[in-house]
Every structure is written in structure tokens, then in C-alpha cells.
């Protein structure tokens, strides 16, 4: 049996395991181990399993994941996320769709601390959805903006998606973080434009709230000041070259804990929940990476990635045509595969093609993360949609999916802008490095 046939059989077995709801990490680990054993023998499979597991566990750059997750959990527990939302609402809530816009701004701000789309959706959903319901917002717009706003945690640094992309492709985490800043701001602006367009076409979907006096606006901004300061210290420290991403994550987690202690919001039970949630998220991420690093050598041995590179680069559609085929495939995969799973599955095959075509790996990292964001709200999987459904169980699922389409189209526009103007993503990293 040729390596290529073994690779095809392994992929079929892998998808079969997913159908039977085997966790993605264990499905990759099992498929990779058995595939390497079939091609190179059992001792080689055992050696790969041992060496890759140790290498991932000892990879010091991955320490940013638990520290940034801890920072986000502490920010939610201490009430800093609510402060940010209150400030955004005080300044924008009196406009049509202002509460939805405040939710997007709050999600963008919280994403700059947590780096997690799920944490952003859950935290901001609990804060924002009751307020929007109280002011008569349409359920589809309210839940749609929370689900879409939560995806900003996957793009705005510190992004767990960038960390995983960097590990799988051996790129600079710092460069990817900086490259995500301008696209993150662009996507936030496009989300706000989508809300303005929806509420202009349907004014009853997002009625204006009361206008807050300027004294109250400045007061809410002052209460959110600590949140803004921590973001400036962590992200500004990376941008200014003062701190590495690892150092910034440690400083950010420490400052957030100090604020939580100063506010006396860190009870023993709350601290235990924060630690357990951080450990659970970290363990899940590490298991996926370990599974990916056993699965990737199997794919390389099967020769499937190399054959696909030759096939795609040989197509008579030009460089842009090949890129559009890859992006269309990602969008399609996003309708039924979870984002991180799609990242670790496809990069071993797609990334060599991108390099061979001459595209910047940093730019491609930003583009891929935006496509993964689209997958987070794409039916039928749409993980963030189900997260919001858990926060608002009384809202029908089809109504939530109906509300995400304006934001999904905004993501598509952002993607097309980045394809047409790569410097949107590359300007800051090129200037810094």
C-alpha cells in the first residue's frame, strides 16, 4: 500500500472518528500515530508521539495562552468588562442601535484582554443581552451582534488563533499580534456600519436609548480607565518593543489580579472557578496542538500535501485564482468544522502552497484567522451561535442565525479588503520589525 493511499485512508478514518464525536485532539492523535506506524513502523510512531508531546509541553512561547486566558477570566470576574460596556453605552447608547454598537465595542475591548472568542461572547452576552431586551431590541440583532462581536477575540491580539498559527507555521507570535491590530479595528468598524445599516432599514430593531449627561459619560470612562490602562500596557508594551508577548501576558495577568483584589471581587470560590476554567482551556489547547503535531508528520509522510501543492500551483488560474480557491475552501469547511480544528488540519497542506505562491505568511495568518471567525458564526456548526444560545436559551436558534448574516457579510468585506490591500495587515509589523 503506497503512502498516499495510507494517507487517504487515514483522512477517511479521521473524519469517521469526528462523526462518532471523538474529540478532535484524540482523533488527530490516533490517526497520526496509526498512520506513521503503517508507513514507518511502530517504533517510529512511538518516537514521534514521545518527542512531539514533550516538545509542545516544553514550548515556552505557549505560556501566553494560560496567562492571557487567566487575564480575561479575572477581567470578567472583577467587573472590568461591565465597566467597559457601561462606558461604551453611555457614549453611544442614545443612537439607534447604540446598545448593539456598545456591545461590539465592549467585545473588541474585552478581546484585547482575553484573546478568546468564547469568553468574549459569554461575558458580553451576560452583560449586554438583558439590557438590549429591556430597551426593546430585536432578538436577532441583539444575539447576532453578541455572537459576531465575540469572534473579535480570535483576531484582536492577544489572539489564541495567532498563537496556534505561529506554533504550527514557526512564525513570530509578536509579528502576528501586531498584524492583527489594524484588521481588528477595521472589522470592528465594519460591524458598527452593519448595525447602522440594519437599524436604518429597520428602526424598530434597535431603538435609541436615553442620552446620558456628559458628567455620567466621563464618570463611566473613568471607571473603565483601569481596563484601558492594562490594554495599553500589554499591547503597547509589545508594540513598543518593551516586552515580548510572553512578558506582556504575565504583566497583564498580574495587573488584572491586582485590580480584582483591590475591588474585593476575588472570593475563594470565584478564584477557584477562574483557575479551573483557565486550566481547562489551556489543557484543551495543548491537547489539540499535541494531536496536530502527531498528525502533521503523518500527512507529510503520506505525500498528500506535496501532491496538492503541485496540483494547485499547476492550475492555469493564476496566483490570485489559487488563493481564492483556498479561501473559498476555508469558508466551506467553516460551515461544519470548528475553527481551531480547521486550522490544525489544513495548515500542513495549505501553508506550503501559500509560500510557493510568494504570499507573506504573516498576512496569510491574519486572512486565515478572519476566515475562521466567519466559521465561528456560520451555520450549521457556528460555535459562537451555540454559546449565545446558552446565554439566551429563550431565543430560537434560527433567529440567532438570522441575526448573524449582516456581520458575516462584514467579515467577507474585510477579507476582500485584505486580499486587495495586504498592507492593511503588514504595515505595522513591517514598520516595527
Span 192-215, pLDDT tens digits? 999 999 998 988 888 877 777 888
| Mean pLDDT across the chain | 83
d(CA 394, CA 382): 18
In this prediction, residue 309 carries a pLDDT of: 63
Rg (CA), the chain: 22
Examine the pLDDT at 396 and tell me if it is beyond 70.
Answer: yes
Cell numbers given for 187: 472589522
Examine the pLDDT at 179 and tell me if it is beyond 80.
Answer: yes
Examine the pLDDT at 119 and tell me if it is beyond 70.
Answer: no
- Minimum mean pLDDT range among 25-29, 124-128, 265-269, 310-314: 310-314
DSSP designation for 210: P
d(CA 277, CA 283): 10
Please report which confidence band the pLDDT of residue 118 belongs to, taking 50, 70 and 90 as the band edges: low
Q: Pick 377 or 186 by higher pLDDT.
A: 186
Examine the pLDDT at 386 and tell me if it is beyond 80.
Answer: no
Within a 13 Å sphere around the CA of 299, how many CA atoms are in the beta-carbon half?
Answer: 25
List CB contacts of 243: < 8 A, sequence separation 6 or more.
234, 237, 251
The model's pTM: 0.76
- Minimum mean pLDDT range among 127-141, 177-191, 304-318, 367-381: 304-318
User: Of the candidates 145, 72, 139, 110, which has an alpha carbon nearest to the alpha carbon of residue 377?
Assistant: 145
d(CA 328, CA 110): 30
Please report which confidence band the pLDDT of residue 292 belongs to, taking 50, 70 and 90 as the band edges: confident
User: Of the candidates 243, 265, 224, which has an alpha carbon nearest to the alpha carbon of residue 74?
Assistant: 265
In this prediction, residue 338 carries a pLDDT of: 65
Sign of the four-CA dihedral 412, 415, 419, 423: positive
Please report which confidence band the pLDDT of residue 423 belongs to, taking 50, 70 and 90 as the band edges: very high
d(CA 135, CA 50): 56
Cell numbers given for 254: 498580574
d(CA 370, CA 180): 10
In this prediction, residue 110 carries a pLDDT of: 73
Examine the pLDDT at 127 and tell me if it is beyond 80.
Answer: no
pLDDT digits (tens, 9 = 90+) for 233-269: 887 787 777 887 788 888 888 988 888 888 888 788 8
In this prediction, residue 115 carries a pLDDT of: 63
Secondary structure (3-state) at 374: helix
pLDDT digits (tens, 9 = 90+) for 90-107: 887 778 888 888 888 878
Examine the pLDDT at 296 and tell me if it is beyond 80.
Answer: no
Secondary structure (3-state) at 433: coil
In this prediction, residue 364 carries a pLDDT of: 94
In this prediction, residue 422 carries a pLDDT of: 93
Average pLDDT over residues 363-372: 91
CA distances for 408 relative to 115, 131, 317, 378, 405, angstroms: 20, 24, 27, 8, 5
In this prediction, residue 280 carries a pLDDT of: 83
In this prediction, residue 34 carries a pLDDT of: 92
pLDDT digits (tens, 9 = 90+) for 311-351: 766 777 778 888 888 888 887 777 666 667 677 777 877 88
pLDDT digits (tens, 9 = 90+) for 37-83: 998 899 999 998 888 888 877 777 777 778 877 887 787 777 777 78
Examine the pLDDT at 428 and tell me if it is beyond 70.
Answer: yes
Q: Pick 186 or 333 by higher pLDDT.
A: 186
Amino acid at each position: 500500500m503506497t503512502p498516499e493511499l495510507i494517507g487517504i485512508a487515514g483522512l477517511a478514518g479521521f473524519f469517521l472518528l469526528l462523526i462518532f464525536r471523538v474529540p478532535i485532539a484524540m482523533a488527530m492523535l490516533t490517526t497520526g500515530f496509526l498512520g506513521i506506524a503503517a508507513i514507518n513502523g511502530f517504533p517510529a510512531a512511538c518516537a514521534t508521539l514521545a518527542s512531539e508531546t514533550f516538545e509542545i509541553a516544553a514550548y515556552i512561547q505557549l505560556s501566553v495562552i494560560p496567562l492571557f486566558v487567566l487575564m480575561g477570566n479575572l477581567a470578567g470576574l472583577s467587573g472590568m468588562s461591565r465597566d467597559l460596556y457601561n462606558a461604551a453605552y453611555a457614549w453611544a447608547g442614545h443612537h439607534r442601535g447604540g446598545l448593539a454598537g456598545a456591545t461590539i465595542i465592549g467585545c473588541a475591548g474585552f478581546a484585547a484582554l482575553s484573546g478568546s472568542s468564547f469568553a468574549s461572547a459569554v461575558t458580553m452576552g451576560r452583560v449586554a443581552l438583558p439590557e438590549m431586551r429591556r430597551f426593546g431590541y430585536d432578538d436577532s440583532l441583539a444575539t447576532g451582534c453578541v455572537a459576531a462581536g465575540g469572534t473579535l477575540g480570535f483576531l484582536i491580539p492577544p489572539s489564541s488563533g495567532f498563537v496556534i498559527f505561529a506554533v504550527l507555521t514557526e512564525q513570530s507570535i509578536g509579528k502576528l499580534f501586531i498584524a492583527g491590530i489594524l484588521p481588528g479595528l477595521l472589522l470592528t468598524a465594519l460591524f458598527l456600519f452593519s448595525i447602522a445599516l440594519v437599524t436604518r432599514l429597520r428602526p424598530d430593531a434597535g431603538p435609541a436609548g436615553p442620552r446620558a449627561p456628559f458628567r455620567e459619560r466621563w464618570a463611566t470612562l473613568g471607571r473603565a480607565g483601569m481596563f484601558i490602562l492594562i490594554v495599553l500596557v500589554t499591547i503597547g508594551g509589545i508594540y513598543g518593543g518593551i516586552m515580548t508577548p510572553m512578558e506582556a501576558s504575565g504583566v497583564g495577568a498580574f495587573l488584572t489580579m491586582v485590580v480584582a483584589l483591590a475591588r474585593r471581587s476575588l472570593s475563594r470560590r470565584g478564584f477557584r472557578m477562574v483557575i479551573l476554567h483557565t486550566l481547562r482551556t489551556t489543557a484543551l489547547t495543548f491537547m489539540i496542538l499535541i494531536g496536530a503535531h502527531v498528525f502533521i508528520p503523518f500527512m507529510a509522510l503520506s505525500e498528500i500535501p506535496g501532491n496538492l501543492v503541485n496540483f494547485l500551483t499547476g492550475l492555469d488560474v493564476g496566483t490570485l485564482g489559487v488563493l481564492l480557491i483556498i479561501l473559498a475552501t476555508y469558508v466551506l469547511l467553516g460551515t461544519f468544522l470548528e475553527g481551531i480544528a480547521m486550522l490544525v488540519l489544513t495548515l500542513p497542506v495549505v501553508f506550503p502552497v501559500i509560500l510557493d505562491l510568494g504570499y507573506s505568511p504573516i498576512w496569510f495568518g491574519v486572512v486565515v484567522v478572519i476566515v475562521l471567525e466567519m466559521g465561528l458564526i456560520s451555520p450549521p456548526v457556528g460555535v459562537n451561535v451555540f454559546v449565545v444560545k446558552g446565554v439566551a436559551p429563550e431565543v430560537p436558534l434560527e433567529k440567532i442565525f438570522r441575526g448573524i448574516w449582516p456581520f458575516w457579510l462584514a467579515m467577507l468585506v474585510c477579507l476582500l479588503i485584505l486580499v486587495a490591500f495586504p498592507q492593511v495587515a503588514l504595515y505595522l509589523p513591517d514598520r516595527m520589525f
